[in-house]
A and B are shown apart, each in its own frame.
Chain A
């Protein structure tokens, strides 16, 4: 190794050290953990190698509940948040006045602490002995029946979780879509106008294809983000998510690792690898679908 090489490696040394210790090594280690049966963190010994951890996790009712919750969350929030973001950004780009103001307001949730604001949502939705909570009062005002959204039936809790998730992820999507819409070449629109094309047709035939790479990027990151949902649920339902039936896959991993039911890095590892496999599969499916529909100029 000559001097030039040595110098370059010296510049890279801190990054390599950090990545090596906290990313590459853990990656290998987590695979080993997940196949070591009966690993004991105190004595650092295990009985042998096999797929028992996976089978334990896959038969654990808490994990199945977490899988179900996560999938419901993904199926609802990804399309709703992407659609809503598209609607709002199209609205934003068709106005002049107050546009900056609206844009700034919409972005606000991005910079707030998910745990802290989640507490406000909890108060708005929660039924307590002394007040039904604002949302319930509104429901009652319109003649509906009050529901405890935080400690009540499953679907009500799921609704709040989805609602809060959409509220949290929307700022990023609106921001990205508005800048994508602004970058579409004006000439396409002018040409369509000369031909007397209807607005709807302009939208489906010009706008959507032109921003399809961005839209697709948002859908992929949306899927990945929703599969990793965790702190939103904690913010609303507290740290004992299993008791609230609202655990997510990531929540299950952390519970296995630490907390009241913790101390099982092997099960946590197996669950993490299952999660990674799911996310990877969905992303690959997305990529395949996008080949047909995404228009790269």
Chain B
């Protein structure tokens, strides 16, 4: 056998092996993709089946030929779903906005200003990162109850504002801005606050966007604190709303209406994600902690 033939044979077998490997990899990835997508498909599918069709299917059908939007109408009329959504929106916007102001001011002080006790205070802040929420939530519950802030937006928002990790993340980013810019601004007579507003915030916009996105996701999905602090339906957020719907909403058996509510609740964040998926994934890989 000539060398040429041998070479071709080796190349061919290598190619075959490569192809086989690709088949295995793509199969594996597709299977997991289906596992991830299936619950979403199922929830949309069940939400457009009519109640009678759904409950008459012993073996559920994988598609429906007569989609109905009746369940969505039910979801908004039978339970105060619109109210839950509005509450969550107010909660998310207010919490994120206050968090941003507090975080940016603190990060600026740590990154840019000189003052006595700075290192000690920063170390103290960092050590607070280790404290799990479960440990402080008990006293916060008592505090908010004693202040008679249960079932108010103040009670919902105030304890959800603080986030040491974001202060840390932003401080690191602020600290990367060259000192020369600051001195130049000082020579021109710019005040500290104006420097923060006109120079630092624009430069660090990507990090600020990241922090905002992470906080919005966190707020939209938050369950524990709202559950503790609200028992009046008028102040329920979507997570508590869905739990309420599940336990006393449409009657336990009306699953299509329940699924319609689930779809409505999931859509805002999914739409947000589909638009900003690059930014969100980038942001989470830099600063996410869920998992």
Contacts and interface: CB of A to CB of B under 8 A. Distances in A.
Interface of A: 1, 4-5, 7-9, 11-12, 14-15, 18-19, 21-27, 29-30, 33, 41, 87-88, 91-92, 94-95, 98, 102-117, 119-121, 123-124, 128, 130-132, 134, 137, 167, 169, 172-173, 175-176, 179, 218, 221-222, 224-225, 228, 230-231, 234, 238-239, 250, 253-254, 257-258, 265, 268-269, 272-273, 275-276, 279
Interface string B124-136: 0100100110111
Residue of A113, A137, A225 with most partner-chain B CB within 10 A: A113
Contact of A11 (B105, B141, B265): B105
Nearest to B158: A22
Given A11-B109, A119-B258, A239 B247 contact: yes
Interface string B174-195: 0000000000000000001000
A29 B136 CA distance: 8
Interface string B27-60: 0110011011101101100100000000111111
B242 A26 contact: no
Interface stretch (B3-11, B69-77, B115-123, B199-207): B115-123
A238 B244 CA distance: 10
Query: Contact residue range for chain B?
Result: 35 or more
Interface string B241-277: 0110011000001010011001001100110110001
Interface of B: 21-22, 25-26, 28-29, 32-33, 35-37, 39-40, 42-43, 46, 55-60, 101-103, 105-106, 108-110, 113-116, 118, 121, 125, 128, 131-132, 134-143, 158-159, 161-162, 164, 167, 192, 217, 220-221, 223-224, 227-228, 238-239, 242-243, 246-247, 253, 255, 258-259, 262, 265-266, 269-270, 272-273, 277, 280-281, 284-285, 288-291
Contact of B288 (A19, A98, A172, A279): A172
